[in-house]
Chains A and B, each alone.
Chain A
Amino acid sequence: DTEVTQTPKHLVMGMTNKKSLKCEQHMGHRAMYWYKQKAKKPPELMFVYSYEKLSINESVPSRFSPECPNSSLLNLHLHALQPEDSALYLCASRRRLAAQETQYFGPGTRLLVL
């Protein structure tokens, strides 16, 4: 398996709902990322997990809660979101080979908050 997968593809939620986004990779990569991408803008880094530990939190509001249950899985728990949180949420994993690092991206979850 040489891809990052994300579920669901689309998600519509109300501001009082609780939902979760899921990301999976079986490439043995030990760093995983969550990004938020608005239309025609570059991805914005939210969180980085390295060896299942949170290593970077880019001052993301607490209504977004990441979780890394094991080296292959990354979740993003959503609660009490705002309409401005509507975006494409991308997961990525990072390969390190001979001191070179490459990030591989999933297809994203398109989130609409009503």
Chain B
Amino acid sequence: AQRVTQPEKLLSVFKGAPVELKCNYSYSGSPELFWYVQYSRQRLQLLLRHISRESIKGFTADLNKGETSFHLKKPFAQEEDSAMYYCALSLTGKLIFGQGTTLQVKP
């Protein structure tokens, strides 16, 4: 069955430290993967999609088909990065979300 796993419920780092939010997926086809972010009291926003290979707010994510992973990385975390991050797999018009990781960046 198609599934997205985010193994960490909470990731706490200090400002300026590197960040890696893990995402693994289970899907036999060619995946279309996204990272969404939800800041406190704000709407769920698209952060990255794997196809565009862009960097948004300093975040990058690389699809590793061999490891079926799509980890989100940022070299230097900022306090304003504190939010809930969801990895999602697009499948026939549906989004399958992981359980989310709360990123807490401490000053």
Contacts and interface: CB of A to CB of B under 8 A. Distances in A.
Interface of A: 31, 40-43, 45, 48, 50, 55-56, 90, 94, 100-108
A100 B32 contact: yes
Contacts of B93: 31, 48, 50, 55-56, 94, 101
Q: SS class of chain B's interface: helix, strand, loop or mixed?
A: strand
Interface residues of B, number: 21
Interface string B29-40: 000101010000
Interface in B27-52: 32, 34, 36, 42-46, 49, 51
Pairs A-B, 10 closest by C-beta atoms: A42-B97, A105-B44, A107-B43, A105-B43, A42-B100, A42-B86, A101-B90, A100-B51, A103-B95, A45-B94
A91 B82 CA distance: 24
Nearest to A37: B44
Given A31-B93, A42-B100, A50-B93, A107 B42 contact: yes
Given A45-B95, A55-B93, A100 B49 contact: yes
Residue of B36, B84, B93 with highest tally of chain A CB at under 10 A: B93
Contacts of B97: 42-43
Interface in B53-107: 84, 86, 90, 93-95, 97-100, 102
A84 B106 CA distance: 34
A103 B45 CA distance: 9
A63 B38 CA distance: 28
Nearest to B84: A40
A93 to B, nearest CB: 12
A48 B95 CA distance: 11
Contacts of B94: 45, 48, 56
Given A101-B32, A102-B34, A104-B46, 6 more contacts: A40-B84, A42-B86, A42-B98, A43-B97, A101-B90, A103-B95
